[in-house]
Structure formats: structure tokens, C-alpha cells
Structure 1
Amino acid sequence: MKNHIIFFSGGKSSFSVADWVKTKYPEDNIVLYFTDTKWEDDDLYRFINEASDALELPMLTHAEGLNPIELMFEKKLVFNSRIGDCSKVLKMRVARQFLKKGIEPEVVEWRNKQYLKSDDFVTDATLYFGIGWEEMHREGPIRKNWKPFDVVMPMIEEVIDNAEILKKYGLTEPRLYKMGFAHNNCMGRCVKAGMGHHRNLREQMPEVFKELMEQEHHLKVCVDAFRYIKKIPDDEIDEEYREFLYRQLDDAYRDYFYGRAKKPKVYVSPALTMEKGLIEFTTYSFMKRSRKGVTKPFPLRDLNREIQQESSQIDIHDVGGCGCFVEFDENDNDDDASETMSCKINTN
């Protein structure tokens, strides 16, 4: 009996791959493996639960315990089209630590574990990904990153109709596809997505877009304040007081970014007084290229304004997305993955 692990993302293709594996290896040990960002649409959870039930396959869910917004706050870094550590930390690192080192994350949940045929489902396992021909640029990096595991991508090697597989089990596809999104991840809030994607988010889920815009704003203020403190000359502040300011600022925003308060706590200190425009904002979701070819920050508030003005500068074909399990951080220390990142600052 062989082991088969299907990276189960909540999308239609990974469900089709699960059906393909079970059909081909019905007597083997098969596990659906879901790495949860804790930022997903409720309908994604509905879909993967129904899929596990219909396939009669066990589903293992792992999660770091943070969502992308919380991770940005902990790192004091605003993610964007070039930096998407949410997929690296919350999905890739979690999976790699478990499958290669046997280290379980903060959150471990099973569904339909009664269908597990052997508790040792990792040894010599074949890994499966729902990567299709249109994403073949992800094939090479995924195979390389998961050595020495064998990796199979049936959607590239076979002709599989997702609609037919859904019909076979009588499942309703995740609602984000019906809303025009290219994937069913992070409730349409992918930090690496582009203008067209976020315009669709604003149209389909205006309250989600509004909340995301507010979170972006407060996160920028928080990050810029940390950077301001860091730039205070050593001869004007001792390190003990600098650390005290870091902690005070961290506490002022923690409740908000962890969903315990509607607004960040107000914290006023002469040491944090900043003139308007003193520190340039970073960008959140994507970068806008000017006529001269210079890439500039383009936050959600600017996108929202241009949508309202029906600007021709919005590229509706700019969809983008993170493409999880492609960019492993070779400098990442797996053994320190659980280390708290509070008050750490990325100034790149």
C-alpha cells in the first residue's frame, strides 16, 4: 500500500485531482492536505468539507494560527505584488516543516479520519498538485522544492474536466468562481493580485473591499511609525526607551489587527509626532507603472478613487495572484518558524 498526499487548496482543480487519485489508487492510503491561511471564504470551507465527505477521504488541516493581515502586523511589513510572505509562511513553511521534518503547526484538525488506512501516510508519499497547463510556469519550482518526494500533476498530464467531476459528485462549485475570480483563495483578498482583481472584489464584495482598505491604511500608519522610531538617532534616544516605544506601539494596534477591536487604540507620544508626508507610505497590493516606466506605490485607496472616477488607468486584465508553493525562502530557518515577530521591522 502506497501513500498519496493531495495538496487540497479549496479550488476545483485540486478536487478533480483528488478524484483522479482515488479512482486510480482506490486501495492505497490517500490524504487530502489543506494548509489554512485563516483568511478564507466560508464557502471554501463548505466546499472542502463536502468534498472530503463525498470522496470518503480523510482531510488533514494545518495552520500556523495567523492570517495574512496578522502576519503583516507581526512582521511590520506591508505585503505587495513583490513580497507575499503569507504564502511562504502560512502555507509553504507549514507544509514543509511537517512533511520533511515531522513538525506539526499550531493548528491540527482532521475530518473523516476514519478513512485513513495507515497513520504513517508521509513515508515515501507521492505529492499531488492541481496545477493545470495554464500554470506550467509553477511546475518546475514545485518539483524542485519538494525533492525528494515524487510530484505528480494530473491536470497537466491528463485531460480532466472540472465541471464533469463536480457533476459526478453533485457538488456546487465555490461561489468565488461564480463572482468572476480566477481562484478560490483568501476570499478574494490576495495581496499579490492586481487592479482587475481588486476592482472585481470591490464590485462583488464591497464590504470586504472596504474593510481591506481600512486595514491597509492602519497597517501603513503602524509600519511607518515603527520605521520612524527606528530612524531616531542613537544620541537622542537610548535603546531601552526605543524598545519601550516599540512595545507601546505594538500594543496600541494589536487588538485591531487580531480582530478584538474595531479601531486601533489611540496612542499619542511626542516621540511619535510626524509631519504629514515625512515618511513615504509603502504599497499594499500592487504597483502602478507610470508613463515614464517608473513603478510607484498604488494603494487600495488610490484604486478606489480611480474606480469612482471611472479612470482609464485601471487595467482590468491585471489579475495576478501569489501562485502558492512556488517561492520557498532558502534563507528561512525552519527551526525558528514559530518565533514571534512582534516589533521586528523590514526596511527593504
Structure 2
Amino acid sequence: MRNHIIFFSGGKSSFSVADWVKTNYPEDNIVLYFTDTLWENFDLYRFIDEASDKLELPMLTHSAGLNPVELMFEKKLVFNSMIGDCSKVLKMRVAADFLKKGKRPAIEKWRNKKHLKDEGFTTDATLYFGIGFEEMHRQGPIKKNWQPFQVEMPAIDHFIDNNEVLKRYGIRQPVMYDLGFSHNNCNGRCVKAGQGHYKNLKQKMPDVFRQIMEQEHHLKMCVSAYRYITDTKVPEADRIPPHVQEIMLQELDDAYRDYFYGRADKPKLYIHPAAGAIYEYAKIKQYSFMKKSSEPYPIRELHYDDEREPKQIDMFDIGGCGCFSDPDMNAEVCAI
């Protein structure tokens, strides 16, 4: 009996791959493996639970216990199309630590474990990803990252009609597809998404758009303050002494922690430590998830541009993190 692990993202393709594996290896040990960012749309959980039930396959869920915005706060870094540690830390590292090292994360839960045929399901397992021919650029990095495991991507090698598979099982597709999103990840808030993606988010899910707009703004303020406090480029005479730095950094954390962890509607009042400094070192730097050309393009600007004087944006700029395909999965940044 062989072991098969399907990386189960909550998307239609990963469900179709799970069906393909079960159809072709009905007597083998098959596990659906979901790494939860804790930032997903409520309907994603309905979809994966229903899929596990109707496929009659066990589903293992792992999570680091942080969502992307909490991770950004802890690292004092605003992720964007060039830096996406949420995928590396919350998905890739969690999965790699478990499958390669046997290390279990902060959160673990099973669904339908009664269908598990053998507890040693990670031994010599074949890993499956719901990558289709339109994402073949991800095939090479994924296979390289997961050596020495054998990696298969049935949707590249075989024609699979996702909608036909869903219809056969009588499962409704995730609501994010109904709303025009290209994937079912992070409730439409992917920090590597583009202008077209966020424009759609504003139109279809205005409350979610407003919340992520506010969070991006407060992250920018928090990171700017942190960078100023610790900036070694400031001349010695104007630099904050180390013992004062420690106090200020603790106050900064206290001011924002409850907000980013969902325990407060707004951050506590925090006076930017650079407020009285020389302007050259006091100005707040621009950080944002999106890029417009090579410049940061904050979600607030997208919002205000719409309200004031609409500007042309790239509606074909959809973007996305491409989880598990980062070529530097085994680099030091992934081991934070």
C-alpha cells in the first residue's frame, strides 16, 4: 500500500486532483493536507469539509497559529509582490517542518480520520498539487523544493474538467469564484495580488476591502516608526540611545498589538517618535502590498482615486502568491 498526500488548498483544482488520486489508487493510503492561514473566507471551510466527507478521505489541517497580518506585525515588515513571507512561513514552512522533520505546528486537527488506512502516511509519500497547464511555471520550483519526495501534478498530465468533477459529487464551488476571483485563498486579501484583484475586492466585498485598507495603513505607520527607532543611518547625535530604543519599541508593540490581533477596533494612540526629529529622517516611508509600475500603490490610494479622480489601473494585474512554488523555500528566511 502506497502513501499519497494531496496539498488541499480549498481550490477547485486540488479537489479534482484528490478525486483523480482516489479513482486511480482506491486501495492506497490517501490524505488531504490543508495548511490554514487563518485568514480564509468562511465558505472555504464549508468546501473542504464537504469535499472530505464526500470523497470519504481523511483531512489533516495544520496551522502556525498566525494569520498574514499578524505575521507582518511580528516581523515589522509590509509584504508585497517581492516579499511574501506569509506563504513561506504559514504554509511552506509548516508543511516542510512536518513532512520532512516530523515537527507538528501549533494547531493540528483531523476530519474523517476514520478513513485513514495507516498512521505512517508521510513515509515515502507521493505529493500531489492542483497545478494546471496554465501554471506550469510553478512545476519546476515545487518539485525542487519537495525533494526527495516524488511530486505529481495530474492536472498538467491529464485533462480534468473541474466543474464536471464538482457536479459529479454535487458540491457547490467556493463562493470566491462566484465573485470573480481567480483563486479561493485568504478571502481575497492576498498581499501579492494586483490592482485588478483589489479593484474587484472593493466592488464585491467592500467591508473586507475597507478592513484590509485600514490594516495596510496602520502597518505602514507601525513599520515606519519601528524603522526610525532602529535606524543606524541617522547621525550619532540624533540617534535614539539603545536603552530608550528598548522602551520605545515596547510601547510601539503595546500600541498596535491589540489591533492587529483583533482585540481592539483601532490602535492605541501612538506618537511617532520621529515627530520632533529632523525632517530628513522623520518622514514616513511608503509601504504597500501593491505596486504601480515600480512605486508602492497603497490600497488607500486605489480607494481615493476612485472617489476623487478615477485613474487608469491595470485590471489585468491580478497577481497572487503561488503558494509552495517559491524557489527559496529552504532558504534562511523560511526558517524564521
Could you tell me the TM-score, scaled by structure 2's length?
Answer: 0.94
Matches of 2:307 and 2:190, distance apart in 1: 22
1:199 and 1:307 in contact (8 A); partners too: no
Supply the distance in 2 between the matched residues of 1:167 and 1:268 (Cα, whole angstroms): 56
Aligned partners of 1:271 and 1:210: how far apart in 2?
A: 28
Name the SS for the 1:96 alignment partner. Answer: helix
CA distance in 1, matches of 2:295, 2:273: 31
Q: What is the letter of the counterpart of residue 288 of structure 2?
A: Y
Contact 1:59 1:112 (8 Å CA) reproduced: yes
Distance 1:199 1:310 in 2: 15
**Partner residue, 2:65:** 65
Partner of 1:286: 290
The equivalent residue for 1:304 is 303
Matches within 5 A, 1:10-159: 10-159=10-159
Code of the aligned partner of 2:229: I
Q: Distance between the aligned counterparts of 1:140 and 1:269, measured in 2?
A: 45
Correspondent of 2:245 among 242, 246, 250: 242
- Kindly tell me the number of residue pairs found equivalent between the two proteins: 331
* Cα offset, 1:148, TM superposition: 0.5
* In 1: Cα distance, 2:331 partner to 2:23 partner: 39
8 Å CA contact 2:225–2:272 kept in 1: the answer is no
Partners of 1:91 and 1:325 within 8 A in 2: yes
Percent identity for Structure 1 against Structure 2: 63
CA separation of 1:7/1:274 partners in 2, compared to 1, >3 Å: closer, same or farther?
farther
Q: Which residue pairs with 1:319 in the alignment?
A: 318
Q: Which residue of 1 aligns with 2:267?
A: 264
Question: Aligned partners of 2:99, 2:139: CA distance in 1, in Å?
Answer: 19
SS in 2 for 1:33: strand
What SS is found at the alignment partner of 1:187? Answer: helix
Displacement of 1:285 in angstroms is: 1.8
1:180-237: CA deviation from partner (whole Å, max 9, x where unpaired): 0000000000100101000000000001000100001111000000111112555554
Partners of 1:130 and 1:155 within 8 A in 2: yes
> Which ranges in structure 1 are unaligned for 5 or more consecutive residues?
290-294, 338-348
Q: Which amino acid aligns with 1:125?
A: A
After superposition, residues 184-263 of structure 1 pair within 5 angstroms as: 184-231=184-231, 233=235, 236-263=239-266
Matches within 5 A, 1:162-181: 162-181=162-181
Distance 1:206 1:269 in 2: 30
Q: Report if the CA contact (8 A) 2:63-2:105 is conserved.
A: yes
User: Contact (CA 8 Å) 1:225, 1:272: kept in 2 or not?
Assistant: no
For 2:204 and 2:273, locate their aligned partners in 1 and report how far apart those are by CA, in whole Å: 43
Report the alpha carbon displacement of residue 271 of structure 1 after superposing the two structures with TM: 6.3
Q: Which moved more, 1:94-103 or 1:272-281?
A: 272-281
Structure 2 unmatched ranges of 5 or more? none
Comparing 189-198 with 229-238, which one deviates more in the overlay?
229-238
- Distance of 2:91 and 2:19 partners within structure 1: 23
Task: Deviation per CA, 1:244-273: give whole Å up to 9, x if none.
Answer: 111110111000000000000113476654
Measured against aligned partners, the alpha-carbon deviations of 1:132-176 in whole angstroms (never above 9, x if no partner) come to: 000000000000110100000000000110011101110000000
Taking the aligned partners of 2:272 and 2:157, their CA distance within structure 1 comes to 61
The one-letter code matched in structure 1 to 2:29 is N
Other-structure match for 1:292:
none
Q: Is the 8 A contact 2:194 2:317 kept in 1?
A: yes
Q: Which moved more, 1:110-119 or 1:280-289?
A: 280-289
How far apart are 1:238 and its partner, in Å? 2.8
Q: Which is further off, 71-80 or 241-250?
A: 241-250
Residue 309 of structure 1: CA displacement?
4.4
Where does residue 6 of structure 1 map in the other structure?
Answer: 6
| Partner-residue secondary structure (3-state), 1:172 | coil
Does the residue aligned with 2:230 lie in a helix, a strand or coil?
helix
User: How much is the aligned-residue C-alpha RMSD, in angstroms?
Assistant: 1.8
The 3 A distance-change label for structure 1 pair 168 and 234 is same
User: Conserved in 2, the CA contact under 8 Å of 1:306 and 1:314?
Assistant: no
The residue number in structure 2 matching 1:345 is: none
* Alpha-carbon contact 2:225-2:274 (below 8 Å) kept: no
Could you tell me how far 1:297 is from its partner in structure 2? 1.3
**Residues 268 and 306 (structure 1), Cα distance of their counterparts in 2 relative to 1, 3 Å cut:** closer
More moved, 218-227 vs 323-332: 323-332
